[in-house]
């Protein structure tokens, strides 16, 4: 059975052979989009979070056949540059397995809430498990991304009390042009 | 889409869905997939065919019926929380505790009922308010009071060929509470849960108990506790604790991986006393704790 949808802004089609195939399986195994991670396959961990018609969902719990004609955005198409940069600058990435799902959830949060409180961040990210960071640096990164996206120039804005000086330096120094950000990655 | 190799039915409206379900009884209905897809992913079930409910506009709207809200079975929890918190505060509070944002964007009240888990978060507020479940099939439509819906663990009166189409919930006529005990705030299956609804017009109390019996339960004896409606200042802790004891007595919990029966009874007594103090205080003032 052929399913046609849009993935990260491009038309995509997949031939599936059982009705229960998940969007996660289709993205990874048929479309080669490995940015969406497979961890628990029961909606507990959020590693496979994608936007389905704009809403964050666990790709493992969506049947691919339900996506006919729908718009899917993965970590590739859903995440504004400042969100990714802030995760790198703030040390919010350790092993990295949860990162794509978190980035998608954060991108969604910041479209709904330009300057979220810690509580709003914690509630929005409650479905994304990270076993490395202890979440504090992730919360720092969301604040930093929000500030960057609001147009504040980091090296002119007053440093946030919860960010160390060197984190702001690195955030300010993160290149803005595409393709040359690797030198700043930790 | 062709349906030669992997039958996945995608009806465009309810009538077509009911026809397809009658013609293909093996097709498993799926909306948010938050229960079914877990079972599929873990090879606990391998549906020969599935029937998508997410395109049925009739199921994805709620309407104001005057003294009640009729919620389409396919309205996701996120919308119940965002749109119905004022008129259905108990249900909206319960919806907010379901899973995570990702789960609440997909999971539906209809799916919660169809799964009929004793731990389903949506059930206690429906029991506390006396909601009605609307069930349709190719043969017609029937309405079942929520107290009569559950027949056992993960069993209900739902028959093959039937779909839950809507839940009609009376609008709150007073303060409501939903309390849930679990190991963290998110992604938790309740150890036990409790909904309380105070109806100031009818001077009536409603309760719903979750995850402490073979089905979600009400506590009829607790509902009949004599409250000082005429002299509201006479409400006291002893009354709240007696209510807690009656709720705990109505529960029929077991020991399982999430908690012991004894703990569940204890937690329910505490939750019930707290919930009653809160609703009474919200309605009549005083020091709620």
User: How confident is the model over A13-52, as pLDDT tens digits?
Assistant: 999 999 999 999 999 999 999 999 999 999 999 999 999 9
For B18-47, what is the mean pLDDT?
A: 97
Q: Which residues of B touch A19 (CB under 8 A)?
A: 6-8, 47-50
Residue intervals of chain A classified under CATH 1.10.150.120 are 79-175
Domains identified in chain B, total number: 3
- Boundary-marking domain end, from B143, B170, B197: B170
Question: Which of A3, A58, A66 lies at the smallest CB-CB distance from B54?
Answer: A66
- Boundary-marking domain end, from B170, B188, B215: B170
Task: Give domain status of residue B138, yes or no.
Answer: yes
Q: How far apart are CA B181 and CA B166, in angstroms?
A: 28
pLDDT bracket for residue B285 (50, 70, 90): confident
Which CATH superfamily includes the segment(s) A2-77? Answer: Beta-grasp domain (3.10.20.30)
Residue A166's pLDDT is what? Answer: 52
Average pLDDT, chain B: 96
pLDDT bracket for residue A151 (50, 70, 90): confident
- How many angstroms separate the Cα of A178 from the Cα of each of A80, A96, A111, A181? 12, 21, 22, 7
For B62-74, what is the mean pLDDT?
A: 98
Residue intervals of chain A classified under CATH 3.10.20.30 are 2-77
Closest chain A residue to B45 measured between Cα atoms?
Answer: A20
The residue with greater pLDDT, A171 or A169, is A171
Q: Which residues of A touch B180 (CB under 8 A)?
A: none
Structure-token pair, residue A12: 């995509």
Residue B113 above 50 pLDDT?
A: yes
Q: How far apart are CA B203 and CA B225, in angstroms?
A: 11
Task: Give domain status of residue B3, yes or no.
Answer: no
ipTM of the prediction = 0.93
User: By residue range, what is the domain housing residue B138?
Assistant: 62-170
Average pLDDT, chain A: 87
- Interval A48-89: pLDDT, tens: 999 999 999 999 999 999 999 999 999 999 999 999 999 999
- Interval B132-166: pLDDT, tens: 999 999 999 999 999 999 999 999 999 999 999 99
- Interval B201-230: pLDDT, tens: 999 999 999 999 999 999 999 999 999 999
- Boundary-marking domain end, from B109, B143, B170: B170
CATH class for the domain made up of A79-175? mainly alpha
Q: Which residues of B touch A62 (CB under 8 A)?
A: 33, 37, 106
Residues 6+ apart with CB under 8 A from B131: B145, B146, B167, B168, B169, B170
The residue with greater pLDDT, A10 or A156, is A10
Is the Cβ pair B99, A127 closer than 8 Å?
Answer: yes
Structure-token pair, residue B159: 């028959």
Residue A177 above 90 pLDDT?
A: no
Percent of chain B residues topping a pLDDT of 90: 95
Residue A185's pLDDT is what? Answer: 41
Residue A163's pLDDT is what? Answer: 52
Tell whether B46 and B97 lie within a shared domain. no
Residue A81's pLDDT is what? Answer: 94
Percent of chain B residues topping a pLDDT of 70: 97
Residue A164 above 80 pLDDT?
A: no
Q: Which long-range contacts (CB under 8 A, 24 or more apart) does B64-67 make?
A: B65/B168, B67/B170, B67/B171
């Amino acid at each position: 059975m052929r399913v046609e949808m849009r993935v990260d802004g491009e038309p995509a089609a997949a031939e599936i052979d059982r009705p229960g195939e998940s969007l996660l399986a289709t993205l990874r195994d048929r479309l080669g989009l490995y940015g969406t991670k497979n961890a628990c396959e029961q909606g507990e961990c959020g590693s496979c979070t994608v936007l389905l018609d704009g809403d964050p969902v666990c790709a493992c719990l969506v049947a691919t056949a339900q996506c006919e004609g729908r718009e899917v955005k993965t970590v590739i198409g859903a995440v504004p540059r400042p969100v990714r940069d802030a995760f790198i600058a703030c040390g919010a990435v350790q092993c990295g397995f949860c990162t794509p799902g978190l980035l998608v959830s954060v991108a969604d949060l910041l479209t709904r809430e330009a300057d979220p409180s810690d509580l709003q961040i914690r509630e929005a990210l409650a479905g994304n498990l990270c076993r490395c960071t202890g979440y504090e640096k992730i919360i720092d990164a969301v604040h930093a991304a929000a500030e960057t996206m609001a147009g504040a120039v980091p090296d002119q804005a007053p440093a946030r009390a919860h960010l160390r000086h060197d984190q702001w330096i690195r955030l300010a120094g993160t290149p803005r042009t595409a393709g040359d950000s690797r030198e700043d990655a930790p | 889409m062709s349906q030669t190799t992997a039958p996945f039915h995608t009806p465009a409206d309810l009538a077509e869905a009911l026809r397809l379900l009658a013609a293909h009884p093996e097709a498993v209905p799926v909306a948010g997939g938050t229960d079914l897809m877990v079972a599929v992913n873990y090879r606990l079930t391998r549906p020969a065919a599935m029937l998508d409910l997410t395109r049925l506009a009739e199921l994805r709207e709620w309407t104001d019926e005057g003294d009640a809200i009729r919620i389409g079975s396919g309205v996701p929890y996120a919308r119940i929380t965002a749109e119905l918190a004022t008129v259905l505060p108990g249900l909206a509070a319960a919806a907010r505790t379901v899973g995570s944002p990702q789960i609440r964007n997909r999971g539906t009240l209809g799916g919660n009922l169809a799964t009929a888990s004793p731990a389903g978060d949506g059930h206690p507020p429906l029991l506390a308010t006396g909601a009605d479940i609307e069930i349709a099939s190719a043969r017609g439509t029937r309405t079942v009071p929520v107290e009569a819906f559950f027949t056992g663990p993960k069993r209900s009166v739902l028959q093959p060929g039937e779909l839950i189409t809507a839940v009609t919930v009376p609008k709150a006529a007073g303060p409501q509470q939903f309390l849930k005990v679990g190991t963290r705030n998110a992604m938790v299956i309740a150890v036990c849960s409790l909904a309380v609804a105070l109806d100031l017009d009818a001077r009536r109390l409603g309760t719903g108990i979750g995850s402490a019996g073979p089905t979600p339960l009400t506590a009829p004896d607790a509902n009949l506790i004599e409250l000082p409606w005429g002299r509201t200042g006479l409400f006291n802790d002893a009354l709240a604790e007696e209510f807690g004891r009656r709720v705990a007595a109505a529960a029929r919990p077991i020991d399982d991986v999430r908690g012991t029966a004894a703990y569940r009874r204890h937690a329910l007594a505490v939750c019930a006393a707290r919930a009653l103090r809160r609703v009474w205080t919200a309605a009549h003032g005083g020091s709620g704790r």
